[in-house]
Structure 1
Amino acid sequence: MLNKYPWWKTLMVVLVIFIGVLYALPNIYGDDPAIQISATRGHQVDLAQVKTIRDYLKKEKIDVKSVALTQDQLLIRLRHITDQVKTRDLLKQLLGENYVVALNLAPATPEWLKMIGGQPLKLGLDLRGGVHFLMEVDMNAAVAKAREQMVQDFRSDLREQNIRYMGALIQPNKGVVMRFANATERSKAEDFLNSRYRNQYQFQELQQDGALILLASMTDQQLQQTREYALQQNITIIRNRVNELGVAQPVVQRQGNDQIVVELPGIQDTARAKEILGATATLQFRMVDNNADPTALAQGHVPPGSELYHRSNGQPIALYKQVVLTGDHIVGAKSAFDQYNQPQVNIDLDSQGGSRMAAITRTNIGKPMATLFIEYKPTHKKDAKGKTIFQRHTEVINVATIQSRLGRSFRITGLDSPSDAQNLALLLRAGALIAPIQIVEERTIGPSLGQENINRGIEAIAVGLIALLIFMPLYYRKFGLVANLALVCNVVMIIGIMSMIPGATLTLPGMAGIVLTVGMAVDSNVLIFERIREELREGRTVQQAIYYGYSNALSSIADSNITTLLTSIILFSVGSGAVKGFAVTLAIGIMTSMFTAIIGTRTIVNLVWGGRHRINKLSI
């Protein structure tokens, strides 16, 4: 029978539209103005502080909607946005410098929608407001760090091969210099290292001040790989840090050869954003030199082969120069408690890190190992290229005794408090930056500017939608009403699908993509309706006109939409930022418009005019 869908197909269409509407619902609830509180390293937010903050805000007559403690962060929802800045200032005075108080926006989605994964549409920086940073990676530090690793690797390799050498040191701007007592040992070292590190390093035999030297320097290819690795790893680690600390939907992407763009929508506190990103630090695990004299250490004297550092309480400690492991090899970290209910951090390493840790700890059971926190802070000095010079700051944040041979998994004990364990685990999970970074540009986009962009975008969509909703019934009568229903469903489904996709963000160009797809959806209906009119003029029956109208128009609609879909895919693959945002909404809009304009309207037409209905005239 013509123009009749089986019941299951009609049910499927209704179900798809229902799911789209359901996941678009969170967007009508908006956001609550909120204050987000998190502790700096060595502190934590606990239930006692929650009560103190509640009582304090009640005393100051701040209208609080809710207070929730999740993932070591306190989120305070306010009823009025006018109270947001005042509340932040009051809490900063109350909590002091050990806590970071930041402005934020928290989705007001009901719990029943959250239970099924319903979340509001993520808005980009141009719509929601927030902070924008342009960060520059110190590539000189990345290369210097790679040379430090070269020294460690060469020393280990030569010891394993029983090749005698007098020393291995870094020569600035050149590479690693290894000294030998005779030409035989130098030749053996060059042959072995050249075969082991083929295409990575190049070796040159020299003679300085009567000493036989082997100079190892990076090849151009290895130098480029080192810089690329530093940039990519820093991008990954910055993204991890932002995600770990609860900033919603950040944008972290590269720009050029040594710069990273970071956008944090919804964050209005630049200081808070710097706190999240500013820990331009690395971690190292080193063995403690127990032979060092405490009195000599207090006077700044350390044994040969060791270096002087200080713990958080200012106590001096001597660590061997050899680095056991860096934070680059950590793939997981969790805070927990041991059998004595003392705080600890459980560490998981990659395969290379596990092998290195096992080799060191096998011969050092019962000896202390330290976790060294190294932070690079920018100074006011510039180098010859005009770039900021970073100063290195170090602190021993933990010393623990090795209980047994360690492998890919081990634990750090001896921590002072559970908050120290939680903060250390957070830092280890997020990772250590491969090279220090400097913020060279920062912009704060206020929520008023974002709201203005949203209003203008909504106005553009609304004007286009209303014009079509008026035109279609006037020109196509009842079929125009069917097209209008499909048009509204199309917009709702675009919003619903964008809300469901993890990481999808709506930007101002994305809103332009929605406007474009609205027009394209109407084009599909116009083609179908005009085909139906032609079939009626040729003397077909009403049922035949509907059937052949949809069938004959399908190929034209598919050709035009598939061409546009391919264009959007190309835009997404080669574009960046705003172009990608436009391409995503355009692609989603094409698919939803084809569904609503062809299948959706056909379902309604079949139910009203198709099947068993005997109709002699169509309102088209």
Structure 2
Amino acid sequence: MLNRFPLWKYLMVVSVLLISALYALPNLYGEDPAVQITGSRGTEVQASTLDVVAENLKNNDIAYKSIAFENGSVLVRFNDTDAQISARDIINESLGKDYVVALNLAPLTPDWLTSIGAAPMKLGLDLRGGVHFLMEVDMDAAMSKLIGQQEESFRTDLREAKIRYRAIRDSGKDSVEVVLRNEEQLAEAKKVLSDAHRDMTFVESESNGQFKLIATFTEQRLQEIRNYAVEQNITIIRNRVNELGVAEPLVQRQGASRIVVELPGVQDTARAKEILGATATLEFREVDDKADLAAAASGRAPAGSEIKEDRNGRPVVLKKRIILGGASITDASSSADEYGRPQVNISLDSEGGSKMTAFSRKNIGKLMATVFTEYKDSGRRTPEGRVILSKTEEVINQATIQSALGRSFRITGIDSQAEAHNLALLLRAGALIAPISIVEERTIGPSMGQQNIDMGIQACIWGMVAVMIFTLVYYRGFGLVANLALMANLVLIIGVMSMIPGATMTLPGIAGIVLTVGMAVDANVLIFERIREELRDGRNPQQAIHQGYANAFSTIADANITTLITAIILFAVGTGAIKGFAVTLSIGILTSMFTAIVGTRCVINLVYGGKRVDKLSI
């Protein structure tokens, strides 16, 4: 019988609509302005911190909706943003630098929706507000680090070739200077080093009886180094932000040495700086056990060694040679040893594992130190406006090598479990190839984001009203069915966007929804016009409905598939706003095909199917 669906098709359509409506529902509840308090540099937030915060707010007559201790942090909800901002300043002052106090937006989603994984859509920077940073990679530091590695490599190559040299040092201008004893050694060294390092040019020189070999990187190699420093830092920053739970960050390159970072929903620039500016890494060094500690205390170190300080300010003499750097760390996790003391478990890549095995096998019974290095904003700038970074180094661990170490080992001597967790997190996300500084920061307030949301909603509503009036007037009863499908389509888009973990709604995304509103009704226009044609050709109403849907399907499919291909390409090659537009456009195409073809057919079949009909309201 024409125009009759089996029961399972009706149930499928109803189920899809109900599930979409259920997951779209959290978007109606809104969010509370909130302040979130977390620990910094290993400080743990205790339940007692909650009492301190509540007492301070009460003493300053700041009303709050609720305060709770959740997942190791304190979350305070407020009725308005004025109270939120005032509370942030007061809490910051009372708790001090050991805590991070960040502005936040806490969803009001009921527990019964949260229990099934329903949550509001993630909003982009232009809708929710957030922070925008323009960061610059310190290329001088990157080159200095590379030159240091090259010097060590030259020493190893010449030592293996049994060529004695006087000195190997940085000669400036991205080059390394090797000082040799005579002309014969100069020729031998040039042959050994040029064969091993084909990405460098070697120039001989003689001055005042000194035979020098100047090794300089080729321009192509220098460009590769700069590109590598920026691209690796982009990858590491993205990993670090993801590790720390900032939703849908935008991290992309701008120009030769700059990186743009946008963090939606983060209103506290100090918190964002802590996330991004934590340039931390580890180095493993051999302790110079033959050094005179009394001389070291006065600042004198033997040749080939240097003085660092441990956490208690005591001097530690270390060999300058770095056994292993943070770049070789592939994984890090925090745990406790058998006595409950915090530790960090380190895993190395194959090359790092080989180096560690070779060193430890030859130095059983000697001390190996773990040096923690961190770069921070010094608060000073160069005359050109660049941020000056201060470097902080401390020896966090000295351990006796008991046996040959492999690709996995552990470091101890850490003050707290929280600090072990933070250190593991930063190492797991990766050590930055070169320090970065923030040259521009901008905060987009939630009020501006709300204005964009209001304008986008208005555009969507007026677009839908205009389309719905047209279809209702022009197609009458069938137009009413198309309007129902249009509203169902909007619910489906919001539901799907809320369900997909990686989907973010942006202002261009709202434009994509408005566009799909027109495209959705376009499919129904094609179907209804085909039905009219069939009626004019003398078909009865039941045949006209059947043939109208059947004949229009191929045209609708062709048009939507070509648009979907374009949207996929936009998503693949685009960034930021273009991706947001492509996501909603792709989802809108799929949902509009479902509602226009399957959804409207269900309603029309329910109304007209299997009945004796003389006339259609179309």
SS at match of 2:557: helix
Contact 1:288–1:370 (Cα < 8 Å) also in 2? no
After TM superposition, the structure 1 stretch with the greater mean CA deviation from structure 2, 523-532 or 107-116, is 107-116
Map 1:176-187 → 2, pairs under 5 A? 176-183=176-183, 185-187=185-187
CA RMSD across the alignment: 2.4
The whole-number CA distance in structure 2 between the counterparts of 1:196 and 1:498 is 54
Structure 2 segments unaligned to the other structure (5+ residues):
none
Q: Which residue of 2 aligns with 1:311?
A: 310
Q: Which residue of 1 aligns with 2:617?
A: 619
The whole-number CA distance in structure 1 between the counterparts of 2:65 and 2:285 is 48
Q: Which residue of 2 aligns with 1:214?
A: 213
SS at match of 1:287: strand
**1:422-456 per-position Cα deviation (integer Å, ceiling 9, x unaligned):** 23223322332211222222111111111111101
The whole-number CA distance in structure 2 between the counterparts of 1:188 and 1:109 is 74
Map 1:215-234 → 2, pairs under 5 A? 215-234=214-233
* Post-superposition offset of 1:369: 1.2
* Post-superposition offset of 1:482: 1.4
After TM superposition, the structure 1 stretch with the greater mean CA deviation from structure 2, 595-604 or 156-165, is 156-165
After TM superposition, the structure 1 stretch with the greater mean CA deviation from structure 2, 51-60 or 288-297, is 51-60
After TM superposition, the structure 1 stretch with the greater mean CA deviation from structure 2, 72-81 or 256-265, is 72-81
Structure 1 ranges of 4+ moved more than 6 A? none
Q: Which residue of 2 aligns with 1:329?
A: 328
Q: Which residue of 1 aligns with 2:69?
A: 68
The whole-number CA distance in structure 2 between the counterparts of 1:447 and 1:379 is 28
After TM superposition, the structure 1 stretch with the greater mean CA deviation from structure 2, 83-92 or 19-28, is 19-28
Partner amino acid, structure 1, of 2:283 = Q
Contact 2:280–2:372 (Cα < 8 Å) also in 1? no
Q: Which residue of 2 aligns with 1:564?
A: 563
Q: Which residue of 2 aligns with 1:93?
A: 93
Contact 1:378–1:438 (Cα < 8 Å) also in 2? no
- Select 1:393's aligned residue among 391, 394, 403: 391
| Residues 190 and 592 of structure 1: CA distance in aligned 2, closer, same or farther (over 3 Å) | farther
SS at match of 2:601: helix
SS at match of 1:460: helix
Q: Which residue of 2 aligns with 1:110?
A: 110
* Post-superposition offset of 1:123: 0.9
Contact 1:283–1:374 (Cα < 8 Å) also in 2? no
* Post-superposition offset of 1:521: 0.5
Contact 2:305–2:320 (Cα < 8 Å) also in 1? yes
Structure 1 segments unaligned to the other structure (5+ residues):
none
1:271 lines up with 2:276 in the alignment: no
1:30 lines up with 2:30 in the alignment: yes
* Post-superposition offset of 1:261: 0.9
Percent identity among equivalent residues?
57
**1:549-594 per-position Cα deviation (integer Å, ceiling 9, x unaligned):** 1122122222322332233233334433222222222222112111
SS at match of 2:289: coil
The whole-number CA distance in structure 2 between the counterparts of 1:236 and 1:504 is 20
Partner amino acid, structure 1, of 2:304 = G
1:483 lines up with 2:482 in the alignment: yes
* Post-superposition offset of 1:380: 4.3
SS at match of 1:496: helix
Contact 1:286–1:372 (Cα < 8 Å) also in 2? no
| Residues 463 and 437 of structure 1: CA distance in aligned 2, closer, same or farther (over 3 Å) | same
The whole-number CA distance in structure 1 between the counterparts of 2:111 and 2:353 is 43
**1:94-117 per-position Cα deviation (integer Å, ceiling 9, x unaligned):** 211221211111223333433443
Partner amino acid, structure 2, of 1:390 = I
SS at match of 1:97: coil
The whole-number CA distance in structure 1 between the counterparts of 2:144 and 2:510 is 46
Q: Which residue of 1 aligns with 2:507?
A: 508
Partner amino acid, structure 2, of 1:394 = T
The whole-number CA distance in structure 2 between the counterparts of 1:13 and 1:164 is 82
* Post-superposition offset of 1:404: 3.2
Contact 1:312–1:395 (Cα < 8 Å) also in 2? no
Q: Which residue of 2 aligns with 1:138?
A: 138
Contact 2:134–2:260 (Cα < 8 Å) also in 1? yes
Q: Which residue of 2 aligns with 1:434?
A: 433
Q: Which residue of 2 aligns with 1:167?
A: 167
1:492 lines up with 2:491 in the alignment: yes
Contact 1:34–1:78 (Cα < 8 Å) also in 2? yes
Q: Which residue of 1 aligns with 2:19?
A: 19
Partner amino acid, structure 1, of 2:602 = T
* Post-superposition offset of 1:87: 1.8
Contact 1:281–1:436 (Cα < 8 Å) also in 2? no
1:537 lines up with 2:536 in the alignment: yes
Partner amino acid, structure 1, of 2:398 = A
* Post-superposition offset of 1:525: 0.6
Partner amino acid, structure 1, of 2:64 = D
Q: Which residue of 1 aligns with 2:293?
A: 294
Q: Which residue of 1 aligns with 2:341?
A: 342
Q: TM-score, normalised by structure 1?
A: 0.92
Q: Aligned pairs, how many? A: 615
SS at match of 1:550: helix
The whole-number CA distance in structure 2 between the counterparts of 1:162 and 1:538 is 98
SS at match of 2:165: coil
Q: TM-score, normalised by structure 2?
A: 0.93
